[in-house]
Amino acid sequence: MPRTTALFAIAAFSVCAIPPFSGFASKWAIYQSLFQFASSTSLPLVRAVALIAIALLSAVGALSVGAFAKALGLGFLGRARSKVAANATDPGGVSLIGQSILALSCIALGALPILIMPLLVPIVTLAHTPAALAAIPYAPTAPVLIALALLTLLCGFAIFARPKTVRTYSTWECGFGSLAPRGTIASGSFARGFAGMFGPLLRYRTEAKIKGRDRRHFPESMVVETEIKPPIETYIYAPLLGGFQLAGKMLTNLQTASIHVHLLYVFASIFGLLVLGRFL
Amino acid sequence: MTGYHVIFPIFALSLPLLLIGVIRKLKARFQNRIGAPLYQPLIDVIKFLKKGQVISEHASLALGGASALSCAVCMLLTLSAPWLGVAHSIIPLDIFTFIYLLVFVRLATLLVAIDPNSPFGGFGASREVLLSVLVEPAVMLCLVSLAVAGKSTMMSQLFSFSDSALLHHSGLWLLAGCGLYISSLVELSRMPADDPTTHLELTMTHEAMILENSGPNLAAVQYTAAMKLAVLLGISGQCFLHAIGPLWTAGAVVQVVASCLTVVILAGSIAVIEGTVTKLRWTKLPEFIAYAVGFGLLCLFQAIGGA
């Protein structure tokens, strides 16, 4: 799916706030307004909060880079991990047009935030900041982008045009021969390092079952299972969602699609209103 | 168009490879070897450019494209970031753009790692993501504290020996320098975090990610790494230099010479670390990065206290 991959890449770059794309423009505005706020206030505590917000935002940004490198890399690049994925093709014309419009606007808003930034300045500039955001020079402007494009072309030329021989060979697998698609990194194992380090927070658990008569030297079967139980999702979102779903199911029982029952509802509500009107 | 506009790019774009040469040479001396000449990395890159390429059957256009992009971004950074003590405004580079251009390079490297579908590349990418999440706040805190103290986010103004608001913040400069130095060791996959010369697949980070690159592609990747090293070390070196009061009033020539010397000395310090220290255990790394974050927080306290 070369076209969808390219368009998804643009979107992913934008989410990760990579400079010429729209995500960067918005993130830059958030950073700059927090910074303006921090340098204009004289209260040390408020300033500290603004600066720590900037630091946390940058950590979240790094996290989103990981997440979207995973989504783009594992989802679109490399080998297909299932037969269904191997047979996937680009969608037809109209939906590609839709995606292209979104991708183009990602680029346009990132390269020319002047189109929309003046509208946003009154919103993002926090109440105490006198300096307007529009006064700060925004770096990824057209000349910079042209310079970047030229440099990319130069490097691309050096990489793609120079080699006299290009040999295709299997990916390096320590000499075991080409590994099966299951042997490549999967989404769970990509997140493993992160999950392990924040294990207590995410309630991360791995369980390895190795079976066999001499299981240390000649394992016959190996199964490793991991489980992540993030507390917020597990104890707040899941019960909330479950509650809504349960309520929805119970409410559907009221919808019987029978004219008699609905007439009964109408009668009951009119009667109820009449009673209410009598007492109020 | 003066001579400066010709000489500076050539100098700035070739110094990074020389720095790698300095590191290798010093490391060799630590191991009682003579070592390759200082210009060997440059010769290596030229050699790789001339060689043929072996590409994985699973790799796509993203492999070469991403390395070309990250190389170009790094070239732009090398030319515009004030890592050599030269204040120029090719790009109005503010600290946020600076950090996110580095993020660009990281994302491109991650894609290069994942694209050929190698399990090693995947694990290297996974480790890189984790380290970057931990290191990013430290870099951001150091730079943004400087920016608050100097009341500007523009790098060319902060690192120009001219912002009088920053002159008396020697402590802040020093702390920011230390924080940036430690975090650049991690970001550059240098010794306590990752051994750039070993090829033990179980623990390596950066080398695992570039395992599938060869020929001109490898040249681009290595050149990118060298430029990233120069810029990151240069910025932390600039922090150290700005902590020295008398240098503020010295002439521009003295400042530039001092900057070049500092970068070379910092590269030497990396070689000393790599010659004397062993790689930290993976589980101990967050504690090491905590020092960088600690320096960042100290910077923050300095910044909210002063001005």
Asked if pLDDT for residue A181 goes beyond 60, the answer is yes
Cβ distance B129 to A169 less than 8 Å, yes or no, reads no
Which residue of chain A is at minimal alpha-carbon distance from B101? A19
Which pLDDT band, with edges at 50, 70 and 90, does A163 fall under? low
pLDDT above 90 as % of chain A? 28
**Which residue of chain B comes nearest to A197, CA vs CA?**
B283
Give the DSSP H or E segment for A204: strand A204-211
Q: A160 contacts in B (CB within 8 Å)?
A: 64, 68, 216
**Interface touch A58/B137, C-beta < 8 Å:** yes
Give dist(CA B124, CA B193) in Å, integer: 13
Find, among B188, B230, B203, B208, the residue nearest to B112 by Cα.
B208
The ipTM estimated for the assembled molecules is 0.91
Which of A47-56, A87-96, B136-145, B193-202 comes out lowest in average pLDDT? B193-202
Which member of A62, A70, A156 has the closest CB to residue B133? Answer: A62
pLDDT at B306: 64
* pLDDT over 70 (residue A129): no
Whether residue B129 contacts residue B110, with contact meaning beta carbons closer than 8 Å, is answered with: yes
Query: Cα–Cα distance between A122 and B192 in angstroms, integer?
Result: 46
Alpha carbons A40 and A128: distance in angstroms, whole number: 7
- Indicate if the pLDDT at residue A207 is higher than 80: yes
Whether the pTM exceeds 0.95: the reply is: no
> Does residue A125 carry a pLDDT above 60?
no
Of A127, A101, A103, A113, the C-alpha closest to A46 is A127
Min distance A13 CA to chain B CA atoms (Å): 8
Residue labelled with tokens 């939906």: A95
CA-CA distance, B166 to B245, in Å (whole number)? 10
Q: Is B217 on the interface with A (CB under 8 A)?
A: yes
Q: Is some CB atom of chain A closer than 8 A to the CB atom of B110? A: yes
3-state secondary structure B147-182: HHHHCCCEHHHHCCCCCHHHCCCHHHHHHHHHHHHH
Q: Average pLDDT, stretch A152-178?
A: 79
Which residue, chain included where needed, has tokens 């070739």? Answer: B14
**A179 neighbourhood in chain B, CB within 8 Å:** 119
Helix (H, G, I), strand (E, B) or coil at A81: coil
pLDDT band at A180 (very low <50, low <70, confident <90, very high): confident
Query: Which candidate, A37, A21, A23, A22, places its Cα nearest to that of A133?
Result: A37
B161: closest CA of chain A, how far (Å): 20
User: What does the pLDDT read at residue B87?
Assistant: 64
Closest CA to B145 of A50, A137, A126, A17: A50
> Which chain A residues contact residue B147 at CB under 8 A?
35, 39
What is residue A141's predicted lDDT score, i.e. its pLDDT? 73
Nearest Cα residue in chain B from A186: B122
Residues A164-190, mean pLDDT to the nearest whole number: 79
Nearest to B56 among A39, A144, A171 (CB): A171
Show the tokens assigned to B275. 């010659």
- CA dist B262 and B22 (Å) reads 13
Q: Over 80: is that where the pLDDT of A56 sits?
A: yes
| Element of type H or E holding A46 | helix A44-75
Q: Is residue A182 classed exposed, middle or buried when 0-12, 13-18 and 19+ CB atoms within 10 A define those classes?
A: exposed
Chain A residue with the nearest C-alpha to that of B75: A151
Distances A31 to A9, A52, A135, B97, B99 between C-alpha atoms, Å: 24, 11, 15, 10, 12
Q: What's the confidence (pLDDT) of residue B208? A: 87
Once rounded to an integer, what is the mean pLDDT over residues A88-115?
86
At A274 the pLDDT is 94
* Mutation choice for A interface testing from B130, B155, B217 by most A CBs within 10 A: B130
Does the beta-carbon distance from B118 to A173 stay under 8 Å? Answer: yes
Question: Is a pLDDT exceeding 60 seen at residue A126?
Answer: no
Q: Which among B51, B58, B68 is the nearest to A79, CB-wise?
A: B58
Cβ–Cβ under 8 Å, residues B279 and B192? yes
Ordered DSSP codes for B228-285: HHHHHHHHHHHHHHHT-GGGGTS-HHHHHHHHHHHHHHHHHHHHHHHHH-PPPPGGGH
Contact B94 A144 (CB under 8 A): no
Pairing of strands A166-169, B53-56: parallel
**Alpha carbons A170 and B17: distance in angstroms, whole number:** 31
Which residues of chain B from 182 to 201 reach within 8 Å of chain A, CB to CB?
201
A121 falls in which pLDDT band (50, 70, 90)?
Answer: low
Minimal CA separation from B206 to chain A, in Å: 15
Residue type, B240: F
What is the reported pLDDT for B272? Answer: 94
Crossing angle of the two packed helices A22-40 and B119-150, in degrees rounded to 10: 40
Partner A, chain B 136-165, Cβ-Cβ below 8 Å = 136-137, 139-141, 144-145, 147-148, 151, 153-154
Closest CA–CA distance from residue A2 to any residue of chain B (Å) = 10
Query: Chain A contacts of B60, Cβ < 8 Å?
Result: 77-78
Res A59: pLDDT: 92
pLDDT on residue A224: 81
Would you place residue A268 in the very low, low, confident or very high pLDDT band (cuts 50, 70, 90)? very high
State the nearest Cα–Cα gap between A266 and chain B, in angstroms.
59
Who has greater pLDDT, A175 or A72?
A72
Confidence of residue A52 (pLDDT cuts 50, 70, 90): very high
Strands A204-211 and A221-228: antiparallel
- Work out the minimum CA distance from B43 to partner chain A, whole angstroms: 16
- Comparing alpha-carbon positions, the chain B residue that sits nearest to A143 is B91
Mean pLDDT is lowest, of A33-42, A61-70, A265-274, B122-131, for: A33-42
Residue A277 in this model has a pLDDT that exceeds 80: yes
| Cross-chain residue pair A171–B97, CB shorter than 8 Å | no
Q: What percent of chain A is predicted at pLDDT more than 70?
A: 93
Q: Least CA distance to A35: which residue of chain B?
A: B148
More reliable by pLDDT, A276 or A159: A276
Give the span between the Cα atoms of A139 and A144, in whole angstroms: 7
Q: Is B36 on the interface with A (CB under 8 A)?
A: no
pLDDT, mean of each 10-residue run, chain B (307 residues) = 78 93 94 93 93 87 89 92 77 88 94 88 90 93 92 87 84 94 93 81 83 90 94 95 89 90 95 90 89 94 77
CA pair distance B72, A68, nearest whole angstrom: 21
Sign of CA dihedral A34, B156, B172, B277: positive
In B42-61, the residues whose Cβ lies within 8 Å of chain A are: 49-60
Q: Which of A204, A184, A185, A186 is nearest to A196 (CA)?
A: A204
